[in-house]
Amino acid sequence: MIVVLKQSAQKKDIERLTNQIEKQGLNTSIVYGTDQTIIGIIGDTTILDPKTIEVDEAVDHVMRVSEPYKLANRAFHPEDTIIDVAGVKIGGGHLGFIAGPCSVESEEQIIEVAKSVKASGANILRGGAFKPRTSPYSFQGMGSTALDLLLKAKEVTHLPICTELMDASYIPLFNKKVDLVQIGTRNMQNYALLKKVGKEVKKPVLLKRGQSATYEEWIMAAEYIMANGNKNVILCERGIRTYETYTRNTLDLQAIPVLKKLTHLPIIIDPSHAGGKWWLVPPMAKASIAAGCDGLMIEVHNDPEKALSDGPQSLRPEKYSSLMEDIKKLSTIFGKSYE
């Protein structure tokens, strides 16, 4: 960490600051510049809050030199982490293909979609049970009933199931019934939930990027879960909020190489929520694979026109099937595998 002093800083200010820093078990080294002096802090600075130093009157600003996360940091864990979702591997060359409807709507619907996406090559089934909706007057999901319908679809297809957890009181239920527990965009910084997920959830976690989260904030959210005990975190990019409103969000595919560099956790892409339009899904899914992601999460609905939520961004089963044909060809080129 680098402390940049004001031009007006005196010798006594430097002494006060170095004392304060060294009391916390860290070392300092001073660079006297022409106009400005800086103090370099040496040691493990993850425990240090830059703001507690920045408040000093002699300090202009404080800059981090290294990342504030440890468990998720690639620097300390050079190998790719491979997550096992009820037998399906994700990361380290293994691709996860999560597919299914935005919301579970009926037994018939979820089983039909599950069979169809499995036939096309999906290896995990998704389906919303509890839905975060912008309007209190919109359909909020079937709730715990939907979990049982997902289990029926699992019985038929043997696909592990993934669904979103919005409320910590459902953790025991999710531990029993769900294979991959999703934390949604709107809860990425719900720290009360992240802590409990870290401590109590016994299954792998899929952590979506917050709508306007930086890479660092996103990895710090994963660090919350990991520091509380659950190391099995998969990151999922689903588009960020920008000034462009033609698309629902702007899909940030640079996240793939950036996160591969910063962290050892797998990263998958959700092109359905990013664009909000079904015809954006196939090109963006292919682009994601070409950029080196570890999997895709795609909404597929057998009858999008009757979908109770997010119909316009759902692919029909035949479109998904044809997309997966292309994905297989691409995966071959890039030496990736999936089971």
> For residues 202 and 306, which CB has a smaller minimum distance to a second copy in the complex?
306
* CA 276 – CA 255 distance, rounded (Å): 19
Instruction: Rule CB under 8 A: say whether 86 interacts with a second copy.
Output: no
User: In degrees to the nearest 10, what's the CA dihedral of 98, 101, 105, 111?
Assistant: -60
Instruction: Rule CB under 8 A: say whether 145 interacts with a second copy.
Output: no
> Are 95 and 336 within 8 A, CB to CB?
yes
* CA 61 – CA 113 distance, rounded (Å): 54
Longest pairwise C-alpha distance within the chain = 76
Q: Amino acid letter at 13? A: D
Instruction: Rule CB under 8 A: say whether 13 interacts with a second copy.
Output: no
Instruction: Rule CB under 8 A: say whether 10 interacts with a second copy.
Output: no
- Subset of 298-317 contacting a second copy (CB under 8 A): 304-312, 314
Q: Which stretch binds a second copy (CB under 8 A): 83-91, 105-113, 119-127, 162-170?
A: 162-170
* CA 17 – CA 157 distance, rounded (Å): 63
Q: Which stretch binds a second copy (CB under 8 A): 56-64, 120-128, 151-159, 174-182?
A: 56-64
How do 205-208 and 59-63 pair as beta strands? unpaired
Total chain residues near a second copy (CB under 8 A): 107
> For residues 98 and 166, which CB has a smaller minimum distance to a second copy in the complex?
166
> Are 270 and 236 within 8 A, CB to CB?
yes
- Subset of 105-134 contacting a second copy (CB under 8 A): 130, 132-134
Instruction: Rule CB under 8 A: say whether 52 interacts with a second copy.
Output: yes
Instruction: Rule CB under 8 A: say whether 47 interacts with a second copy.
Output: yes
> For residues 84 and 196, which CB has a smaller minimum distance to a second copy in the complex?
196
Helices (H), 121-168: 144-157
Site string for a second copy, 248-267 (x = CB under 8 A): --xxxxx-xxx--x------
Instruction: Rule CB under 8 A: say whether 289 interacts with a second copy.
Output: yes
> Are 103 and 141 within 8 A, CB to CB?
yes
SS3 296: strand
- Subset of 186-225 contacting a second copy (CB under 8 A): 186-187, 189-193, 195, 210-212, 214-217, 220, 223-224
Q: Which of 13, 77, 200, 228 binds a second copy (CB under 8 A)?
A: 228
SS3 180: strand
> For residues 84 and 216, which CB has a smaller minimum distance to a second copy in the complex?
216
